[in-house]
Amino acid sequence: MNKSELVIIGGGPAGLSAGIYASRAAIKTVLLERGVPGGLVVNSQHIENYPGFEGGISGPELMVQMEKQARRFGLEILPTNVGGIKSVGHKIVLETDRGELSAGALIVATGAQPNLLGVKGETELTGRGVSYCATCDGAFFRGKRVAVVGGGDAAVEEAIFLTKFAEKVYVIHRRGELRATRIIQHRAFDNSKIEFVWHSVVDEIQGGDLVETAIIRDVRNNESTSLNVDGVFIYVGYRPNSSLVKDVVKLDERGYIITDENMRTTQPGVFAAGDVRQKLLRQVVTAVADGAIAAVAAEKYLEEKA
């Protein structure tokens, strides 16, 4: 069984930030990532709201720089899948494709995934007009026409946010009324830039290099129409990648990991950082902050247990 002082699961901004802080503190740390480090950020073509980059930076470039920085401090990054986690005494034991790995502390930074519509053109045009984050990409649609898919709080709030930039925002919802809270609904109804497309779903997203058209179908009569838009923002929910620890730590009703302000979960020695934990804002900057806090908290935990 391989041993480390600290194991981090997930190589997105939270995991890499935790790796930077932990490795720099001379903690023997290994980061486990089943794919390519970077997380969902690698899908962002341009990030304008991460401090320190006046002209912005692409998601892939930012993640490459974070990974290089983490490796420079000695972080070991292993490409492997984690199949299970259990607590044995004061140790955390992980079952991986490379065998069992034990650690004194664990940081879970496995992120979250947006639910997809699953329609033609969605995947192909992601990052080229299809987005799951208005806060990240809204400014690129200044003076343009966009569609928001969904009827819950997130969808309607982001539609309102997009009116700061777009000249027209269509909210496409399969029902005849919104699921969002009343106060948010009223704000949207009072906004002249927002137009609601009721009883409708998106069947296809079309475009060449960029999004050009959304094919909308009325669920009452199955009639289809074309909506000329420059962007499609999809808000049909997120799902946290927390199934790995559902029997180890406490989750909220949506499956997000519950932590305190120091990223401690309900299981001693297990910390969580980034989009997988219950929080107000899910952005690169908050994920990086979470990772730093989690690493420092894990360091103090390991010192107390030494």
Q: Active-site residue numbers?
A: 133, 136-137
Percentages of the chain per state (helix, strand, coil), in multiples of 5: 30, 30, 40
CA atoms within 13 A on the CB side of 185: 10
Q: Tell me if residue 267 falls in helix, strand or coil.
A: coil
The sign one gets for the Cα dihedral 27, 32, 37, 43 is negative
From the list 158, 169, 161, 165, the residue with the least C-alpha distance to 192 is: 169
Residue 267 tokens read as: 């299981």
At residue 77, φ and ψ (nearest 5 deg) are -115, 120
CA atoms within 13 A on the CB side of 93: 9
Angle (CA) 259 260 264, round 5°: 65
CA distance 99 to 82: 10
How many other CB atoms are there within 10 angstroms of residue 280's CB atom?
5
CA distance 131 to 125: 9
The residues near 210 (Cβ < 8 Å, ≥ 6 apart) are 125, 128, 129, 230
CA distance 226 to 29: 52
CA distance 38 to 63: 5
